Amino acid sequence: MLSGTMIGLLPIALALLSLAFVYFILQLFLAKQEPTNLPHGSMGWPLFGETIGYLKPHKSNSMGSFLEKHCSRYGKVFKSHLFGSPTIVSCDHELNAFILQNEERLFQSSYPKPVHGILGKLSMMLVSGELHKKLRTVAVSFISTNKSMPDFLHSIEKLSISVIESWSERQEVVFFKEAKEFTLYLMLRHLLSIEPEESVASKILEDFLTFMKGFVSLPLHVPGSPYAKAVKARTRISSTLKEIIKDRKRGNVGYAKGDFLDEILVKGNLSDEEKVSVVLDLLLAGYETTSALLAIVVYFLGQASHVLEPLKEEHQEIRKNKTDGELLNWEDYKRMEFTSNVISEALRCGNVVKFVHRKALQDITFKGYLIPSGWKVLPVLTAANLDPFPS
């Protein structure tokens, strides 16, 4: 006779058996439907596929156990089921280059649907065609115009000095956290003329922290989940930016602040939603990638005194030729050749951007493998960086 506990577990057991049966049938069905010349691989569990294993945290200067095991078992190109879709994963440098070189012809940017809820439907990461070109042109104009301007370099130097001086009163510094705040405040200053000490800067920073936690979490849109909180945080950031745009328009001061918002406000070809989206994309780019690179550089330098010493010498040599209190200029920046090499090597070893999401627009054959039309393609950019030379 069954006990009460065992009876209570019966529905769960039946559900698991049913799920296993459905999974078995689906695997048989899909095996018959799939072309024979697909790369080898595994489609993982029902619904989740292999996403959880793929997203398992690992050191940034490694591929992680998931990719290492799959490449060892199936080769550098393999099939999987990630982020809700059948996917071809590429750790092959030649295929990665082929994918990126054929953007909008054979492949198209295609991020998972949950990402749309966080980034917004007008994000440059999600749109394509003419709209992508229009938004990208606006964003690139900010980067190319500002990077060599004296005020931009001076602003970076002054904020850097201010942040470093604030550390003298602390017993411990969490550098990655400091790098994130530094890059976001710098972007807010040049995009929107918002200074770090303003309350709106702290408000945006708090929402951005929530936003980023959800961006790299499982896409479970249930109350209280990191993903759900991120969607709400994105809405709050968007509302804050819209208010800033309205205030700037109402000010009727001839757009005299001289920041990026001034530039896009006078562009008649952008809607308010597109303006908000471009600003959000630039904030995201500056906040995530630049702060990660800063942290990676410091991490590697802490383990390489033979690199740190010549780096310090290069900066001291540049400082010798300047008077007390004189700020750096663009010519000084161009003289930092060893510094540039250190940054490039940190990018190579540290892997700021691990992979990108793409979709095949037609059936494509590469090295004898078929990439079916409509399948997602995941070129893993870090794999080539970490692949040792044959010698």
Place of tokens 């690179």: 293
Considering the chain, what is the average pLDDT of its residues?
84
Please indicate whether residue 32 or residue 281 has the higher confidence score (pLDDT): 281
Quickly state the pLDDT bin for 209 (edges 50, 70, 90). Answer: confident
Quickly state the pLDDT bin for 314 (edges 50, 70, 90). Answer: very high
Quickly state the pLDDT bin for 169 (edges 50, 70, 90). Answer: confident
CATH 1.10.630.10 fits 129-293, yes or no: yes
Least confident of 5-19, 42-56, 178-192, 282-296: 5-19
Of 374, 285, 349, 378, whose CA–CA distance to 51 is shortest?
378
Phi (first) and psi of residue 370, to 5 degrees: -100, 130
- Find the helix packing angle between 175-192 and 199-215, rounded to 10°: 120
Domain(s) labelled CATH 1.10.630.10 in the chain stretch across 129-293
Least confident of 194-203, 217-226, 335-344, 355-364: 217-226
The amino acid at residue 380 is V
C-alpha 94/C-alpha 109 separation (Å) is 19
Q: What is the pLDDT of residue 183?
A: 92
Mean pLDDT of 229-250: 90
Give CB contacts under 8 A, 24+ apart, made by 224-227.
Answer: 227/114, 227/117, 227/118
Q: What is the pLDDT of residue 23?
A: 53
Q: Give domain 42-110+357-391's CATH number out of 3.30.465.10, 3.30.420.80, 1.20.1250.20, 3.30.43.20.
A: 3.30.43.20
C-alpha 258/C-alpha 13 separation (Å) is 65
Q: Is the pLDDT of residue 312 over 90?
A: yes
Quickly state the pLDDT bin for 253 (edges 50, 70, 90). Answer: very low
Of 47, 42, 86, whose CA–CA distance to 66 is shortest?
42
Q: Is the pLDDT of residue 293 over 70?
A: yes
Inter-residue contact 358 to 109 (CB < 8 Å): yes
Annotate 98-120 with b (16+ C-beta within 10 A) or e (fewer). bbeeeeeebbbbbbeebbebbbb
Q: What is the pLDDT of residue 16?
A: 55
> What is the phi-psi region of residue 2: left when phi exceeds 0, alpha when psi lies from -120 to 50, beta otherwise?
beta
Domain(s) labelled CATH 3.30.43.20 in the chain stretch across 42-110+357-391
pTM of the full structure: 0.77
Q: Residue 11 is inside which H or E element, if any?
A: helix 4-33
| SS3 assignment, position 350 | helix
What the block records as the tokens of 208 is 């951005």
